[in-house]
Structure 1
């Protein structure tokens, strides 16, 4: 899940395969991305993902850029005091409790993009309602993983799957409880 967009996106731990997803994009992937951002939603981002997104998306006038710019961005950070991207709000306290409060509110659904470290916390706290996993037909052999060591074993139920002409699988899963 590390650095799908471009080579400088996230070189953490010497990762050199940034931009791996772009050569495999096709019209079906772009359509799926547009469908994902078509409705009302807010965003939850870790600080590193916020930095990458805030440097790129405010300057984009396309379906995804417009949706991201319209959304409220909740940014989990202890280091950023000022958030320059419009409609960005800081979360710096008890992240799990803040996310529980946010999920219980009357606002739109909340999407989390990237944010691999934050995801580990949310997965461990059973705060993910749906996983939209895009599986690309390649093996990099290194990089950040969605389900890192320490995440509790959980079952998932497949609720939708699509494949694209370039072999990308777009799967939607919902949590199904502990592994039996």
Structure 2
């Protein structure tokens, strides 16, 4: 069985839109495209390299697929990511039935992308790694399909934009597997599934009169 692993560059307030450049995704008037570049350093690059070190296939939303297909096949051949992305399978979620994926080794998931992802998870093969793909990620979280989250949290607040998590994220406890900080202050964290959310309480065993009044006021 294959795992679905998320790879995401996010701001401190959770925005992940257009990390790579000003024209990458200006939808919604987003004006900070390229916010990752000034803070990306050698340690950040090494962490990305570790994420790509094990065999994987890419699992992408259509907009991110288009960004990648217009860039990675054309990079200099001494950049190892381009040939790697060319070689592996790329699975694309799209609502457009007329969409045709022209990048080599690309496969459209079809009308029911979630059912197709579930089928892929049940197959033998390398893990599935998402990059970007905010809209598609919402569906993966909502359907409880994500196994591991690799978050690169950059020390910047962007205010608005497409976010990693929305209201549809499936409640889930996580375990911090690894964490480190780059020289530019990027916190690089890996989380794995840890079952259901558990809760506790710091309240008194016997609530005070003031607490009882507060609870009544809530209703």
Instruction: Give RMSD over aligned pairs.
Output: 1.2
Structure 2-normalised TM-score?
0.79
User: Pairwise mapping of residues 113-132 of structure 1 onto structure 2 (< 5 A)?
Assistant: 113-132=131-150
Q: Decide which structure has the larger Cα Rg and report it.
A: 2
CA distance in 1, matches of 2:25, 2:197: 32
User: Pairwise mapping of residues 67-86 of structure 1 onto structure 2 (< 5 A)?
Assistant: 67-79=84-96, 80-86=98-104
Alpha-carbon shift at residue 27 of structure 1 (Å): 0.6
CA distance in 1, matches of 2:195, 2:25: 32
CA distance in 2, matches of 1:105, 1:26: 36
Structure 1-normalised TM-score?
0.95
1:64 aligns with 2:81: yes
Map of 2:168 onto structure 1:
150
Alpha-carbon shift at residue 105 of structure 1 (Å): 0.6
Higher relative contact order (CA 8 A, sep 6+): 2
How many residues are aligned here? 180
CA distance in 2, matches of 1:13, 1:175: 33
1:177 aligns with 2:192: no
- Give secondary structure in 2 for the equivalent of 1:154: coil
- Give secondary structure in 2 for the equivalent of 1:23: helix
1:53 aligns with 2:71: no
Map of 1:94 onto structure 2:
112
CA distance in 2, matches of 1:63, 1:28: 17
